[in-house]
């Protein structure tokens, strides 16, 4: 819908006024208002909480919240909460989780937990001179941010390093103050950004007040101060492994050795071909994003970071790696995940809080291991289907109810369809034909 005029002062309207204004653009305004209102939470306090998460809210957008049970990670059994609209994702995660629980489960370990922030500035001074000042500048930066860092320091986190990066060969006069942080169980975005904005001010004052710098050098042009969502050193590695012969399963209607070889080739293709790598990694993020959403984590930051990491060699590749040696199948996902289990929505959103409870109130490191296991589970399930029976059979089976709902099927029709399509391939045409003949026979 295109509007002929701009709307002024929308954010100043009350929620009801916003809703009415928006609904006036629908041909069935009253119906639209009622429909949008049916998604309001019946408890006013809870609804207010949701309204205050964002701006200009007029309703809530429901997405299914489901569970992948039997996710065995480092010998602990988890029920993993997942929030996702794609019908086959939780089914695939659950089936892979069960498959691997019977073969030793997911083995996961934290490689590192470092976060990064940058102050980008332009400066035309002598960099050697500034570098000589780095120790005392650092001291000022650390001391000048104590009011922000003291509580994080107490929890064992804080600023871990500060460096000056010379990028003048790429852009005239361009430098960075690059800092690394340990933010423990918080994702740390607000903490890091607050430190960086303070750093920028301290840096500017340091240069302009120090007599060592001449008049021209005293001008430091701060461009921006912001964390980097690329955190290659906030890394988790998760593996599944077993003897090739143990890859036998009712789902894998294939000799396990042939299956292992096809699986290995599929992963190698995702390491060679960027088009395939993108889809391969999308399958990993099916699981990762679903757990990120369920636990109130920032899935955009997680995705952006993961895709950059996938391209770290200069070529975008699969995030998983495979090794088959001496009839031993070993499949590994290595992925950066900057997560929080405190702060942000993690404790504010009632269902995110429940998700974390269900996972035994994990710390950020535990959650990195859980989330990467879900990612590997989804990816394993996808590749297993792709190299055996193909993806559509399972996908369409899971999609059956969406198609039935599109045709407004009744509960009786749904249950008939469920029986019928146990043995039949699902397609939109077949479901529509099935419903037509069922409806005719009932007349």
What residues line the site for ligand MEV (CB under 6 A)?
Answer: 86, 279-280, 282-283, 286, 382-383, 386, 391
Nearest distance in Å: CB 386, ligand MEV: 6
CB of 256 to ligand MEV, least distance (A): 20
Instruction: Phi first, then psi: give them for residue 326, nearest 5 degrees.
Output: 45, 50
* 318: three-class secondary structure by DSSP: coil
The smaller minimum CB distance to ligand MEV, of residues 17 and 85, is found at 85
- In angstroms, the first-to-last Cα distance of the chain is 41
Nearest approach, Cβ of residue 383 and ligand MEV (Å): 6
∠ CA 180-117-345 to the nearest 5 degrees?
A: 100
Which one is catalytic: 395, 414, 416, 430?
395
Question: Catalytic annotation on 298?
Answer: yes
Q: How far is the CB of 431 from ligand MEV (least distance, A)?
A: 20
* Residue closer to ligand MEV (CB basis): 185 or 286: 286
Q: Are 80 and 68 in contact (CB under 8 A)?
A: yes
CA distance 207 to 125: 10
Of residues 357, 265, 359, the one with CA closest to residue 318:
265
CB of 69 to ligand MEV, least distance (A): 21
- Specify the long-range contacts of residues 309-318, CB closer than 8 Å, at least 24 apart: 309/230, 309/232, 309/335, 309/336, 310/277, 310/281, 312/232, 315/274, 316/274, 316/277, 316/278, 317/270, 317/271, 317/274, 317/277, 318/267, 318/270, 318/271, 318/277, 318/280, 318/281
How far apart (Å, rounded) are the C-alpha atoms in residues 380 and 100?
10
How far is residue 55's CA from residue 53's CA, in Å, rounded to a whole number?
A: 7
Looking at the Cβ atoms of 279 and 363, the one nearer to ligand MEV is: 279
From residue 47, alpha-carbon distances to 57, 72, 219, 362 in Å are 10, 36, 49, 27
217 is catalytic: no
**Least distance to ligand MEV from the beta carbon of 290, Å?**
11
Taking the complex as a whole, the smallest distance from the CB of residue 398 to ligand MEV amounts, in Å, to 11
Q: Give whichever of 144 and 375 is closer to ligand MEV, judged by the CB atom.
A: 375
Of 83, 164, 153, the C-alpha closest to 120 is 164
Strands 174-182 and 158-166, sheet pairing: antiparallel
Q: Which residue is nearest to ligand MEV (CB)?
A: 283
Determine which one of 18, 76, 98, 282 is catalytic: 282
Q: Is 395 a catalytic residue?
A: yes
Cα dihedral across residues 339, 345, 346, 352: positive or negative: negative
Q: Of these residues, 20, 51, 86, 217, which one is catalytic?
A: 86
Smaller CB separation from ligand MEV, 86 or 303: 86
Which among 198, 298, 365, 366 is annotated as catalytic? 298
Smaller CB distance to ligand MEV: residue 264 or 416?
264
Tell me which residue has tokens 């204004």: 21
253 φ, ψ (degrees, to nearest 5): -85, 65
208 vs 392, beta carbon nearer ligand MEV? 392
Q: Which is nearer to ligand MEV, 345 or 386 (CB)?
A: 386
φ, ψ for residue 362 (rounded to 5)? -70, 155
Minimum Å gap between C-beta 393 and ligand MEV is 12
365 catalytically annotated: no
Q: Which residues are catalytic?
A: 86, 282, 298, 395
């Amino acid at each position: 819908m295109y509007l002929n005029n701009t709307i002024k002062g929308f954010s100043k309207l009350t929620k009801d006024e916003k809703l009415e204004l928006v609904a006036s653009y629908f041909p069935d305004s009253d119906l639209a208002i009622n429909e949008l209102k049916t998604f309001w939470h019946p408890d006013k306090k809870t609804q207010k909480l949701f309204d205050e998460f964002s701006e200009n809210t007029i309703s809530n957008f429901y997405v299914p919240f489901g569970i992948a049970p039997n996710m065995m990670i480092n010998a602990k059994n988890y029920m993993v909460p997942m929030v996702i609209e794609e019908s086959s994702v939780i089914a695939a995660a659950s089936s892979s989780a069960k498959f691997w629980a019977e073969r030793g489960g997911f083995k996961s370990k934290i490689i590192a937990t470092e976060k990064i922030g940058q102050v980008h500035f332009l400066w035309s001074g002598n960099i050697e001179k500034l570098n000589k000042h780095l120790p005392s500048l650092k001291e000022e930066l650390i001391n000048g941010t104590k009011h922000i860092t003291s509580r994080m320091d107490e929890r064992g986190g804080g600023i871990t390093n500060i460096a000056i990066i010379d990028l003048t060969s790429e852009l005239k006069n361009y430098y960075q103050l690059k800092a690394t942080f340990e933010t423990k169980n918080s994702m740390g975005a607000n903490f890091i950004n607050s430190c960086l904005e303070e750093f920028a001010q301290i840096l500017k004052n340091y240069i302009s007040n120090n007599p060592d710098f001449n008049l021209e050098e005293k001008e430091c042009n701060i461009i921006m101060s912001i964390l980097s969502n690329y955190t290659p050193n906030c890394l988790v590695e998760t593996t599944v492994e077993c003897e090739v012969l143990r890859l036998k399963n009712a789902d894998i209607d294939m000799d396990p050795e042939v299956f292992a070889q096809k699986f290995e080739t599929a992963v190698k293709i995702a390491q060679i071909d960027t088009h395939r790598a993108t889809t391969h990694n999308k399958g990993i993020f099916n699981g990762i994003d679903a757990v990120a959403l369920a636990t109130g984590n920032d899935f955009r930051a997680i995705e952006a970071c993961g895709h950059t990491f996938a391209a770290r060699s200069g070529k975008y590749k699969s995030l998983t790696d495979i090794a088959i040696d001496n009839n031993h199948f070993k499949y590994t996902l290595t992925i950066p995940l900057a997560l929080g289990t405190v702060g942000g929505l993690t404790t504010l959103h009632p269902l995110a809080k429940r998700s974390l409870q269900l996972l035994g109130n994990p710390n950020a490191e535990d959650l990195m291991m859980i989330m990467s296991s879900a990612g590997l589970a989804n990816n394993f399930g996808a590749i297993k289907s792709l190299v055996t029976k193909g993806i559509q059979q399972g996908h369409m089976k899971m999609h059956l109810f969406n198609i039935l709902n599109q045709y407004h099927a009744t509960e009786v029709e749904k249950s008939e369809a469920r029986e019928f399509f146990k043995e039949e391939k699902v397609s939109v045409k077949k479901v529509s034909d099935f419903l037509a003949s069922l409806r005719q026979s009932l007349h």
